[in-house]
């Protein structure tokens, strides 16, 4: 697994994207005494939902879980000699973290403006 440089580069890229996501999202969360906007959806009567600010820490936990699960899947696929699937999972993890960063920054902007 460590001899495959492309696989290792994608794994490092996934870890770097995860660290960027966790750092940016973690430093954006602020403690407040009032409830903040924590979720946006186009379903339901109200499009914005409020909850305590601690709910926003789940965005950070989500980033950690995405990195761990995708790295585990990449390793498993690589050990099963499914290199293409491992690469796809790695690229998908980076894409998910990028989309999640945009979404979480949008929600944080609503919560802490």
**pLDDT at residue 44, rounded to an integer:** 64
Tokens of residue 16, six digits? 């770097």
**pLDDT at residue 31, rounded to an integer:** 79
- Running along the chain, 113 residues long, what does each successive block of 10 average in pLDDT? 86 97 91 74 73 84 97 95 94 97 87 73
Cα 58 to Cα 12, 52, 82: the distances in Å are 24, 12, 32
* DSSP letter, residue 4: -
Distance separating alpha carbons of residues 99 and 95, to the nearest angstrom: 6
**pLDDT at residue 1, rounded to an integer:** 67
**pLDDT at residue 49, rounded to an integer:** 77
């Amino acid at each position: 697994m460590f001899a495959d440089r492309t696989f290792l580069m994608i794994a490092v890229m996934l870890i770097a994207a995860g660290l960027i996501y966790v750092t940016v999202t973690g430093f954006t969360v602020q403690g407040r005494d009032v409830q903040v906007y924590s979720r946006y959806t186009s379903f339901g009567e109200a499009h914005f939902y409020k909850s305590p600010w601690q709910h926003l820490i789940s965005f950070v936990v989500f980033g950690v879980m995405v990195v761990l699960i995708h790295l585990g899947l990449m390793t498993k696929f690589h050990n099963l000699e499914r290199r293409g699937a491992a690469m796809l999972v790695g690229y998908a993890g980076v894409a998910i973290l990028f989309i999640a960063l945009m979404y979480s920054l949008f929600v944080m902007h609503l919560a802490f403006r």
